[in-house]
Amino acid sequence: MADIEPNFPDTDQATSKADARKAARKRGFLIFAGVVALVAAGVGIYEWIEGGRYVETDNAYVAAEVAQVTPLVAGPVRRVAVNNTQVVRKGDVLVELDPTDAKIALAAAEADYADALRKVRQTIATGTALSAQVGEKQADIARMTAQVQVAMADVQRAEIDLKRRQSLVGDGAVSGEELTTARNAYASAQGQLAAARANLAAAQAARGTANGQEAANAALVTGTTPETNPQVLAAKARLDQARINLDRTVIRAPVSGVVTQRTVQVGQSVAVGSPMMTIVPISQAYVDANYKESQLAHVRPGQPVTLTSDLYGDDVVYHGRVVGFSGGTGSALAVIPAQNATGNWIKVVQRLPVRVALDPHELGAHPLRIGLSMDATIDTRPEKDRSQTGQN
């Protein structure tokens, strides 16, 4: 009986299917490896082309030059017109102080100014009167001079008459009584001359006094008008200050922004310079991006920056420009700087704040608040390359 070989069709078919699956799996792995290789090559090419052209950081925060509101005059608070989170515009009334004391001070300054004007006008009028007195004293001197001349003539005439009579006494032509009369007349003329000279000296002294008074008075008003006199100007300055102090009892917003940190209350007595509230000008916000020192080799002022905020997510992209760099790293400018002059020093990569100015229109559409986190990416490519790609 011949041997019959057994036939196992099911076994051969299973083996074929297993081989096919292995082949398919191998092709799949090859395709996957090819895709991975292509992706890696693409990433490598991208990094080779674009690597170093963009520097990014998520260590960036919104900041702004906040305005602290403080009173410039002291007084009790009469009204507070705003609350925290309220949006105000520049010039809006924030706080009103009691103006009673300021109004009284203004009234006193107005009275002092009017009194100064009155005194200056009086001084000018006194100058006119003193000038008239000087003219009068000059006339007195002229009159006294004439009287001296008349008295000198009388002395000369009495002296001649006395000498003539004395020469006739020996001849008996003149009696003793006549001689005595002549002597008395001569003595009287000398006395009148002395009195006239004394009156002339007094008149000259009076003129000197009048001249001095006129000069002293003129020194107060010469070269000025009542409005430009120094005393009037000083009173006017005090009046202007009183008006300013009254105006300062109404405290207005120095900038447009959002009210924060309001501490003032109605009835509180505030001193000059005491903090009352802070206004954050959110329309003027900027970003301080803290880059590692190793990232800043190609960063320059003016380069474009794209930013996103955790507040709005990646759907809102802000555009800005590099303004400049801080004068020192964060650790160097800390309240207590790190002391590295020790034997246990370990090098730590430092971060330098980079100031980024934001587009005001984008800020208006999507307002930010100070302290919010930002992601910032700086395009460090040359300007001509950015122009060619339309990204300048």
The pLDDT, as a whole number, for residue 150 is 87
The pLDDT, as a whole number, for residue 343 is 60
Same domain, 141 and 111: yes
Give a yes or no: residue 39 inside a domain: no
Q: Is the pLDDT of residue 342 over 70?
A: no
The pLDDT, as a whole number, for residue 59 is 93
Same domain, 346 and 301: yes
As a whole number, mean pLDDT of residues 345-372 equals 89
As a whole number, mean pLDDT of residues 105-125 equals 90
Same domain, 268 and 218: no
pTM of the entire predicted model: 0.64
Distance of CA 325 to the CA centre of its chain: 26
| 149 vs 26: which has the higher pLDDT | 149
Same domain, 235 and 254: no
The total number of structural domains in the chain stands at 3
Least-confidence region, from 94-108, 147-161, 211-225, 279-293? 211-225
As a whole number, mean pLDDT of residues 102-128 equals 89
The pLDDT, as a whole number, for residue 43 is 65
The pLDDT, as a whole number, for residue 125 is 79
pLDDT digits (tens, 9 = 90+) for 346-355: 777 889 999 9
Same domain, 121 and 216: yes
Structural domain span for residue 82: 67-101+250-277
Give a yes or no: residue 326 inside a domain: yes
As a whole number, mean pLDDT of residues 331-340 equals 68
The pLDDT, as a whole number, for residue 368 is 93
Give a yes or no: residue 29 inside a domain: no
Give a yes or no: residue 132 inside a domain: yes
Q: Is the pLDDT of residue 316 over 70?
A: yes
Length of the chain: 392
C-alpha angle with apex 10: 6 to 12, nearest 5 degrees?
A: 80
The phi and psi torsions of 69 (rounded to 5 degrees) equal -90, 120
Same domain, 164 and 128: yes
Give a yes or no: residue 229 inside a domain: yes
Q: Is the pLDDT of residue 88 over 90?
A: yes
What's the CATH number where 263 sits?
2.40.50.100
As a whole number, mean pLDDT of residues 201-212 equals 81
What's the CATH number where 179 sits?
1.10.287.620
Distance of CA 332 to the CA centre of its chain: 30
pLDDT digits (tens, 9 = 90+) for 42-78: 766 655 555 558 899 999 999 999 999 999 999 999 9
| pLDDT above 70 coverage of the chain, percent | 84
Same domain, 107 and 239: yes
Give a yes or no: residue 384 inside a domain: yes
The pLDDT, as a whole number, for residue 1 is 40
Burial 163-185 (b: 16+ CB within 10 A, else e): eebeeeeeeeebeeeeeeebeeb
Distance of CA 116 to the CA centre of its chain: 31
What's the CATH number where 309 sits?
2.40.30.170
Same domain, 232 and 115: yes
| 327 vs 215: which has the higher pLDDT | 327
As a whole number, mean pLDDT of residues 355-376 equals 93
| 243 vs 201: which has the higher pLDDT | 243
The rounded distance, in Å, linking the Cα atoms of 290 and 376 is 9
The pLDDT, as a whole number, for residue 8 is 47
Same domain, 107 and 222: yes
| 106 vs 334: which has the higher pLDDT | 106
Same domain, 230 and 311: no
Same domain, 184 and 133: yes
pLDDT digits (tens, 9 = 90+) for 248-267: 999 999 999 999 999 999 99
Same domain, 265 and 303: no
Give a yes or no: residue 44 inside a domain: no
The pLDDT, as a whole number, for residue 387 is 60
The pLDDT, as a whole number, for residue 339 is 66
Asked whether the beta carbons of 252 and 72 are under 8 A apart, the reply is no
Give a yes or no: residue 25 inside a domain: no
Domain end, chosen from 258, 277, 296, is at: 277
